[in-house]
Every structure is written in structure tokens, then in C-alpha cells.
Amino acid sequence: MELLAPVGTLASLAPTLAAGADAVYVGLKDDTNARRFAGINFNRDELAQAATLCHQQGKKLYVAINTYPSAGNESRWHSAIDMAADVGVDAVIMADVGLLDYAQQHHPALERHLSVQASSASVLSLTLYQQHFGITRAVLPRVLSMAQIERIGADSPVELEVFASGSLCVMAEGRCQLSTWFSGQSPNSGGACSPAERVTWKETPQGREAWLGEFLLDRTDNAHAGGYPTVCKGRYQIAGKAQHAICSPCGLSTLPLVAQLKNAGVTAVKLEGRQRSGAYSQRITQVWRQALDTLAVQGQQFRLDPAWQRQLQLQAEGQTLTCGPYMEGWQ
């Protein structure tokens, strides 16, 4: 399986490739990608340098253009697609059908991957995207179970990619109405579910408080690490007790399921974290490279090394790991 790693800056690219990534994915310095944070992402010159470096090493470069343009502003997204094609990236990752059509009509040789933001979760849906927009790969939603992935993989008309490590999303990808209500910004268009300019931390006699705008999302003491203040991972007063009502801060790791993912026909495992540091990308890529190389050698006798999970746990939000919905039966 292809190991696809996150890269937030040009400085992070070389270490991540050296750690063993087969491909990397990046975003541009605007709202055309769903990780629009200050200090990360690529301009045109940086994207061209990234493409050159990747191709010199026999690696691939994908560009996420995975938000939805608002009416009248489509030209900015079109320019992003044009830029990606001009510098020679290997694929663009998109969800909006208008953008998929634009890329197909204007840059037919540019490979098109369906973003997780499209929330395509059936063979019929994937077939529609393949027939009408020529996609060659789809990133499956992070709310699917292994059983569902296996059923899709049995008949999928395109390559399948899954999120294997990093942050979790408990909503249909990118469609978080909670975030829109709390911050006034849609992840689908603004590029962040908790915009950094709206996030503040305050030291109070009760503890360290995390705020999103005027809303208090969490309060922790100095002995406990808090998660990034997203609405779904906030802690609220319920029946007189402060608790995580929707999702506790934790990180996804599907290392225990990697052999099953391969058997299900998954083509690529994707590591989440473009908004995090280059050191983070390098460390998680190293762990996953070891695991995939071991899987290639051991095959059906593959055994998970607990040391890999311990290394990922140190990098995880809340220093807690979960297989997420992959092993749940609630669907």
C-alpha cells in the first residue's frame, strides 16, 4: 500500500520523504484547502520546488483543493487547479463536482482523486464519480467500519484510500454545523473547523481554559493536557458533571488493522496532520514505514509491534489512541 504523508511546509518535505513516504499531500496558501492555518501551506514557487524534489526521488505529490467555492468566487479554485497542473503535480484531491469537471475539461491528463470531503461511501457513488469525472482514487470517510470498507473494496471501480493515523472527525466530513454555529465559519469553505484567529487560551484560578470565540470549550488543570479546541472535543456540563459529550481528545491509529485494510483492497494509507509540525510528520511516517515494510515481508503472519503504537501515542492528541469507527458496529 502507498504511504501518503502530510506536509505543511517546504521545510518539512525532505525529512518526510527521507522517513519513507511514498507520496505526500499539501495545500495552497488560501481557502482552497481544508487546512487553512497561518504559517503553513505552499505558494506557487514552493509547490514547483516540491514537485521537483518529489519526482527526483521517485515520489508523488498531491495537492488538496478540497473546499467548496462560494458563488462568484470559483476563479480562485480554478487558478489553484491550473497551478497544480502547470507545476506538474501527480494528482489533485477535490470534492466539488464543478471543480472536478473543470479539471477534467481543462487538464484531462491531471489525475483526479475524490476528497474525503465528498463523503462518498458506496460503490454506486464511486461509480458515478468515476464515470462522470474520471476519478482514479477516492478517500473514504473516516466514519466507516472495516466491514463497510471491505464491502466497498470488493467492487470499487477506483483505488481506495483511507485515513490511517491522526485526527478523528465524528461528522460527515467537512459538514460540521456545530463548528459553523460556534465560529461563523464553515470547514467546507473556510478551511478550518476551529479557525486559529478565533482560538484563545486563558489561565484562570479554575485552570487553563480553551475558548472558541465567546464560547468556553474546555478547562483543564496543569496536570492534564487538553486537546485542540474543536467543538466536538469540548467538555460540557451534563447532569452537573463536566464531560466530553461527543468525542474525547484522542488520535486515530489503524496499525492493528493494517493487514485487514490491505486485504480489503485499500491502495493507500493516509496520515493526517498537515497543520502539525514537520517533526510530527517525520515521526509518524517513520513508524508507518516500518509497519508497512514488515507487513510486506510477513504477510498473513504480520504481528503488530507494540513499540509502534507507543511512539504514535506520544504524538497523539490527548496521548490516547483509538481505532475509531473502523471497529464499531453502530453504522
Confidence grade of residue 174 (pLDDT, cut at 50, 70, 90) = low
Q: How confident is the model at residue 35 (pLDDT cuts 50, 70, 90)?
A: confident
CA end-to-end span of the chain, whole Å?
A: 26
Cα atoms in the 13 Å half-sphere on the side-chain side of 78: 11
In Å, what is the CA distance from 80 to each residue of 29, 43, 83, 106, 330? 10, 10, 5, 12, 39
For 171, residues 6+ apart whose C-beta sits below 8 A from its C-beta are: 143, 178, 232
Among 12, 11, 72, 76, residue whose Cα is nearest residue 271: 12
Mean pLDDT of 118-141: 96
- What pLDDT does residue 282 have? 96
What are the domain boundaries of the chain? 2-168+250-327, 184-244
pLDDT at residue 134 in the model = 98
Residue 193, pLDDT above cutoff 80:
no
Q: Which pLDDT score is estimated for 220?
A: 84
Residues 52 and 61: their CA atoms lie apart, in Å, by 9
Give the pLDDT mean for 41-64: 98
Mean pLDDT computed over 22-48: 93
- The mean pLDDT value of the chain amounts to 91
Question: What percentage of residues in the chain have a pLDDT greater than 70?
Answer: 96
Residues 93 and 115 sit within 8 Å (Cβ to Cβ): yes
What are the angstrom distances between the C-alpha of 111 and each of 81, 117, 193, 248, 315?
A: 11, 17, 28, 37, 32
pLDDT value at position 183?
Answer: 81
Going through the chain in order, the beta strands assigned E by DSSP cover: 2-6, 23-26, 60-64, 91-94, 111-114, 137-139, 159-166, 199-204, 207-212, 215-220, 235-238, 241-244, 251-253, 268-271, 321-322
Buried b (16+ CB within 10 A) or exposed e, 226-263: bbbbbbbbbbeeeeeeeebeebbbbbbbbbebbbebbe
pLDDT at 329: 62
Query: Quick one: CA torsion of 75, 90, 13, 287, rounded to 10 degrees?
Result: 130
Quickly count helices (H) and strands (E) in the chain. Answer: 11, 15
pLDDT digits (tens, 9 = 90+) for 76-115: 999 999 999 999 999 999 999 999 999 999 999 999 999 9
Nearest alpha-carbon partner for 286 in 13, 54, 1, 20: 20
Q: From CA 117, how far away is CA 92, in angstroms rounded?
A: 13
Which uninterrupted H or E stretch holds 74?
helix 74-87
Is the pLDDT reported for residue 251 higher than 80?
A: yes
pLDDT of residue 259: 96
At 265-282, the pLDDT tens digits run 999 999 999 989 999 999
Classify domain 2-168+250-327 at the CATH class level: alpha beta
**Cell representation of residue 106:** 481543462
Global confidence as pTM: 0.89
Least confident range of 25-39, 121-135, 210-224? 210-224
**What are 288-330's pLDDT values in tens digits?**
999 999 999 999 899 999 999 999 999 887 778 888 888 876 5
